[in-house]
Amino acid sequence: MRYVTTSSTEVFSLLNSIIYFHKAIQELQRAHNHLSFAAFLYATIGAIGTMLVAIFLSTAEKWQPLFHRYVRMGLAEYAAAISIIIFIGMPHVGELASLDRSTLHVSTSFKPSHPERSVFFVQFWHLPVTWIFAAIIPGFIITVLFFFDHEVSSIICTIDRYGTKKPGGFAWDIVLLGTTTALCGILGIPPANGLLPQAPLHSESLMHTEKEEILISVDGEEKVEHRDVIRVHEQRWSTFLHAGAILIFISPPFQHLLGLTPTSVLAGLFMFMGEQSLSVNPILYRFFHLLTPPWELPILPRDVKGYRGVHVYTIVQIVITVVIFVVTLTKAAPAFPVLIIILVPIRLLLMNKLWDRETLRFVDAWACRKGTPEDDKDLLAGEVSEKDASPTVPDMRFQSAASQA
């Protein structure tokens, strides 16, 4: 991950957003196929309503002076949960209760849902040896997907905007992810991993402003200045409580409550997650620049020649994302993580020949460290030129031998 740049992470984040929106559309398509037209219209309203209410509540911290500060924080941090609860209960009120609806399928007994399985764990000792070796291929692909997914998600959630002090702490989560994936394989269920193990939505909900003392020099005198700094509450309790709540609601009898959730609410949650991921993606703002008149565009740094290179770079990112998304809709979908990884050498070896250095320096940077690939090349070139320019020290032994002769 040392060589991953924000170019790849932005494409991956945009791909996640598109997949979220696509999953929402799929849920509404299923509702259209199985529900009456009136019920389908309400399902559409419920999905859009779930998303809009969650987006509205997520801005609660800006409602000052309305409500107490902690009330606003609670509304913002649990915006999605509050919206989901509202639209789970709404279909049971008034005339809406008479409409047919599609809800999440849950198990009614403690046994495998597959009719051909009588035990929870996979009896792998009964499988042909060839099947075990054949499983290495999808296993490798899942490993690549989860590793890259986890690492990129951690990068997105620890960017400078969030002011994290210990971003490396997320690296330990990959150990937990590997353990749970192994257990899921033994139990014969899909790997227990979301599309984004660490969602930017979680980081957004933990943001707060705190005072920080900064030592500055004014007229040769050092003074302490207090500034407001945005940081994230770095703790493990929120993720632990979320995981605990998930464990509770997939266990009887709470699983019955989970079964009351309309699939339209799930579609609304997908749209909300997609919107939250897209809203912080730089590709979106550079795309807006494509639609902005040239005289109203922000002023570029002096060394960047113009917006043409920036616009072409943005279009290429969008095209790459769409191509990878199309691949996920085909039988080659399991191989899409490989395409994401291929973007890394493409950026380092090919794109620097198609765009000038200053444009790439403006739109891209290292994802896990300070600076850009162009900065590193300039530093390396400077060290080489200094070595070449340094005067050669003559060997004094030969000089003294010549003088004696």
Range 19-23, long-range pairs (CB < 8 A, 24+ positions): 19/195, 19/274, 19/325, 19/328, 20/195, 20/270, 20/271, 20/273, 20/274, 20/277, 21/270, 21/271, 21/274, 22/325, 23/267, 23/270
pLDDT for the residue 397:
37
What pTM does this model have? 0.78
Q: What is the DSSP letter of 95?
A: G
Which residue do the tokens 């790439």 mark?
Answer: 360
In this structure, the strands spanning 207-218 and 221-232 are: antiparallel
Per-residue pLDDT, averaged over 192-209, amounts to 64
CA distances from 356 to 218, 301, 313, 352, 375 (A): 39, 14, 11, 7, 13
Query: Could you tell me the two tokens for 168?
Result: 């490396």
Average pLDDT value over all residues in the chain: 80
Per-residue pLDDT, averaged over 25-39, amounts to 91
Query: From CA 272, how far away is CA 390, in angstroms rounded?
Result: 59
Instruction: Give percent of the chain above pLDDT 70.
Output: 84
pLDDT for the residue 404:
41
What would the pLDDT profile of 204-238 be if each residue is shown by its tens digit? 667 777 777 777 776 677 777 777 777 777 666 77
pLDDT for the residue 162:
65
pLDDT band for position 402 (cuts 50, 70, 90):
very low
- Which amino acid does the sequence have at 255? Q
pLDDT exceeds cutoff 60 at 386: no
What would the pLDDT profile of 163-175 be if each residue is shown by its tens digit? 666 656 566 777 7
Is the model more confident about 163 or about 273? 273
Per-residue pLDDT, averaged over 381-394, amounts to 54
Least confidently predicted of 150-154, 183-187, 339-343: 150-154
pLDDT exceeds cutoff 80 at 26: yes
3-state SS, residue 192: coil
pLDDT band for position 399 (cuts 50, 70, 90):
very low
Per-residue pLDDT, averaged over 78-107, amounts to 87
Q: In degrees rounded to 5, what are phi and psi of residue 58?
A: -65, -15
Cβ 362 vs Cβ 301: under 8 Å:
yes
pLDDT for the residue 223:
74
pLDDT exceeds cutoff 50 at 401: no
pLDDT exceeds cutoff 50 at 395: no
Per-residue pLDDT, averaged over 302-308, amounts to 85
Is the model more confident about 152 or about 341? 341
Is the model more confident about 255 or about 205? 255
Query: From CA 33, how far away is CA 26, in angstroms rounded?
Result: 11
What would the pLDDT profile of 311-363 be if each residue is shown by its tens digit? 999 999 999 999 999 998 988 887 777 888 888 889 888 888 888 888 888 88
pLDDT for the residue 311:
92
What would the pLDDT profile of 277-295 be if each residue is shown by its tens digit? 888 889 999 999 999 998 8
pLDDT band for position 254 (cuts 50, 70, 90):
confident
Per-position b or e across 137-158, b if 16+ CB within 10 A of its CB: eeeebbebbbbbbbbbbbbbbb
